[in-house]
């Protein structure tokens, strides 16, 4: 069976030259060639735009300027090999033609069969290589979908189409939350396979007309054509969340990855590629500031919020130098004795203009910009100072717990610096507790393990915070020097009204006790919740039922009052 015909377009030249080429091509037995001739260069250009060809022959003898313009136009619009014909194949114009992208330059008076066949085969083979290179530049090698470069071209074309047809366009910027910790906790191959899986999930949940791309790392983008309204786009965003949030198995254990989606609309949110992407990124950061998988549409308020974050970061740097932070403490109560046995230290920021700034607002920002490390050291140092203050008031048996960020654990100087702060403060390290979340531990398990073991040698204890909201295995928990599990407030708040949450909390308590670990429940606000936790053998409770977080001075007053009531 013979190969399919190679379609060649001849631009320029004469009727006699066309007839000569026809005769020569008919004598080539290895491959059939079909030659189409357009004497006018403009007609040839329109033909190439409308029809598919494998090769272009451009005669540059009669009008070299127009011929070279056509060559340039072809190279800019398509991956099509071009061969130019000159009176002399080594002329200055032939050199220029090769600079402009011509695969070969032939002498028009020397078009023998062997020369033509060699030139055509070289041009076609070169075209295959060029197409593969073009593919590699425009598609993501890991997932096979469009890459950032291809996406920008596609979005630009989609904007032009929407503008011409006066339709709306939706853009979703999708970021996998916590993927960096997955990357650090497991192998690179595991992380790559997760990205491939998420790309496949996204590909299956969108329309064929929608365009999906991987922007890099853990970020994807999705173009939605011809959107009628924002409600349609919101439905797609929620569908993406549902699909990506399905459990993913890593080493036999299910892991749930949340995502944050920023949404922009053409033309409301912008009329250019850069404008839409910039605003989609702003909206995505807004979505990231909320817990769990969320999508956020760009609005003018979003831009205001982005500017506020920039100013807040600047103020945060000033706050660290100007000593605008203060430690507040929330009591931990032993359910057996009813006594206050410890406290959780929580940082507060007294902004000179905004007043008290919520940790939920500035802690994530501090983690993003790297300030969480010096702020974390300040927290440890201030907690040690306050422990000395508590001791001076006769409360020498209280334990103080402070939170650690996963970025602090990644600081190579953390263990030495924390040990020095504790030593210089001359406090009893056995009464100091560091709280870590599951995701913080798993961000770099080996480094975390080594740091915890070194600090435990000083007498410091550890608790696992927000238990049940992250991902970790019991094998990991058992290897670590953890003395308590803290049940997240999201479970505790519903133990009376939700049977499922009640059963989960019971199971958590039983699990902890089987591991010989105590349990601390957060967020207890009602007597019924306290009664439930007591009946199910939870050791300690903290929450608004007993007290919100208060200053060190007010904390001492609360403890004194409770001691008086108990007596």
CA dist 322 and 18 (Å) reads: 84
- In this structure, are residues 302 and 510 in contact, taking their beta carbons and an 8 Å threshold? no
pLDDT of the residue at 519: 93
Tens place of pLDDT per residue across the chain (567 aa)? 345 788 999 999 889 888 888 888 888 877 788 999 999 999 998 888 888 888 889 998 888 888 888 888 887 666 688 889 888 766 778 888 887 788 888 888 877 888 888 888 888 877 776 666 555 567 888 888 888 888 998 899 889 888 888 888 999 999 998 787 777 777 788 888 889 889 989 888 887 778 899 998 899 999 998 787 888 888 888 899 888 888 888 877 777 788 999 999 888 888 889 999 998 998 898 888 776 788 888 876 655 666 667 677 888 888 988 889 999 999 999 998 888 999 999 999 999 888 888 888 888 888 877 888 999 999 999 999 999 999 898 888 889 999 988 778 778 888 899 999 999 999 999 999 999 887 777 666 777 888 888 889 989 999 988 775 555 556 667 788 888 999 888 889 889 998 888 998 998 899 889 888 899 999 999 999 999 999 999 999 999 999 999 999 999 888 887 665 454
Q: Are strands 540-542 and 550-551 parallel, antiparallel or unpaired?
A: unpaired
DSSP H helical ranges for 370-498: 372-392, 406-409, 414-425, 438-443, 445-456, 474-479, 489-492
Torsion of CA 269, 271, 275, 279, to 10 degrees: 10
To the nearest 10 degrees (0 to 180), the angle between helices 552-566 and 372-392 is 40
Q: What pLDDT is stored for residue 2 in this prediction? A: 44
User: Does residue 177 sit in helix, strand or coil?
Assistant: coil
**What is the distance between the alpha carbons of residues 216 and 145, in angstroms, rounded to a whole number?**
11
Residue 425 main-chain phi, psi, to 5 deg? -80, -15
* Model pLDDT, residue 26: 85
Q: What angle do CA 321, 324, 329 make, to 5 degrees?
A: 125
Gap between the Cα atoms of 101 and 322, Å rounded: 62
Which 3 state secondary structure label does DSSP give 264?
Answer: strand
And the tokens for 176? 């996998």
* CB atoms closer than 10 angstroms to residue 288: 19
Q: Is 13 exposed, middle or buried (0-12, 13-18, 19+ CB in 10 A)?
A: buried
Task: Give the whole-angstrom CA distance, residue 461 versus residue 467.
Answer: 17
Q: Is this model's pTM higher than 0.75 or not? A: no
């Amino acid at each position: 069976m013979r190969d399919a015909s190679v379609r060649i377009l001849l631009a320029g030249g004469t009727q006699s030259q066309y007839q000569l080429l026809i005769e020569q091509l008919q004598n080539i037995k290895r491959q059939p060639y079909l030659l189409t001739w357009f004497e006018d260069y403009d007609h040839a250009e329109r033909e190439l735009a409308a029809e598919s060809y494998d090769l272009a022959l451009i005669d540059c003898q009669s009008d070299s300027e127009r011929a070279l313009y056509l060559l340039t136009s072809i190279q800019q619009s398509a991956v099509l090999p071009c061969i130019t014909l000159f009176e002399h194949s080594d002329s200055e114009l032939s050199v220029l033609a090769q600079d402009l992208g011509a695969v070969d330059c032939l002498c028009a008076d020397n078009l023998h069969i062997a020369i033509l066949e060699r030139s055509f085969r070289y041009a076609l083979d070169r075209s295959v290589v060029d197409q593969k290179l073009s593919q590699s530049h425009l598609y993501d090698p890991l997932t096979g979908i469009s890459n950032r470069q291809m996406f920008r071209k596609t979005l630009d074309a989609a904007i032009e189409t929407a503008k011409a047809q006066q339709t709306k366009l939706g853009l979703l910027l999708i970021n996998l939350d916590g993927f960096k910790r997955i990357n650090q906790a497991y192998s690179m191959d595991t992380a790559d396979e997760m990205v491939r899986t998420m790309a496949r999930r996204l590909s299956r949940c969108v329309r064929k007309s929608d365009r999906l791309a991987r922007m890099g790392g853990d970020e994807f983008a999705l173009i939605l054509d011809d959107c009628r309204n924002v409600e349609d786009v919101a439905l797609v965003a929620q569908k993406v969340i549902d699909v990506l949030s399905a459990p993913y198995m890593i080493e036999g254990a299910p892991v749930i990855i949340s995502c944050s989606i920023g949404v922009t609309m053409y033309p409301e949110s912008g009329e250019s590629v850069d404008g839409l992407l910039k605003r989609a990124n702003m909206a995505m950061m807004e979505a990231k500031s909320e817990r769990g998988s969320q999508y956020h549409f760009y609005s003018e308020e979003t831009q205001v919020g982005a500017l506020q974050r920039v100013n807040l970061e600047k103020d945060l740097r000033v706050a660290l130098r100007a000593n605008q932070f203060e430690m507040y403490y929330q009591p931990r109560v032993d359910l057996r004795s009813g006594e206050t046995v410890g406290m959780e230290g929580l940082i507060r920021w007294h902004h000179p203009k905004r007043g008290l700034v919520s940790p939920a607002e500035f802690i994530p920002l501090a983690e993003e910009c790297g300030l969480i490390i010096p702020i974390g050291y300040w927290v440890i140092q201030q907690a040690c100072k306050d422990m000395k203050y508590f001791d001076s008031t006769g409360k020498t048996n209280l334990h103080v717990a402070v939170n650690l960020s996963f970025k602090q654990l990644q600081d190579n100087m953390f263990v030495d610096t924390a040990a020095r702060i504790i030593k210089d403060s001359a406090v009893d390290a056995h009464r100091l507790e560091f709280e870590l979340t599951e995701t913080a531990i798993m961000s770099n398990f080996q480094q975390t393990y080594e740091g915890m073991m070194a600090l435990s040698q000083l007498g410091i204890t550890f608790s696992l915070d927000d238990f049940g909201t992250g991902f970790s295995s019991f094998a990991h928990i058992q290897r670590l020097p953890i003395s308590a599990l803290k049940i997240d407030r999201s479970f505790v708040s519903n133990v009376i009204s939700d049977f499922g949450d009640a059963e989960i909390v019971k199971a958590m308590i039983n699990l902890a006790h089987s591991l010989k670990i105590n349990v601390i429940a957060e967020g207890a606000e009602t007597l019924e919740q306290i009664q439930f936790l007591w009946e199910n053998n939870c050791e300690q409770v903290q929450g608004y039922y007993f007290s919100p977080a208060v200053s060190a001075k007010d904390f001492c007053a609360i403890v004194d009052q409770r001691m008086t009531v108990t007596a």
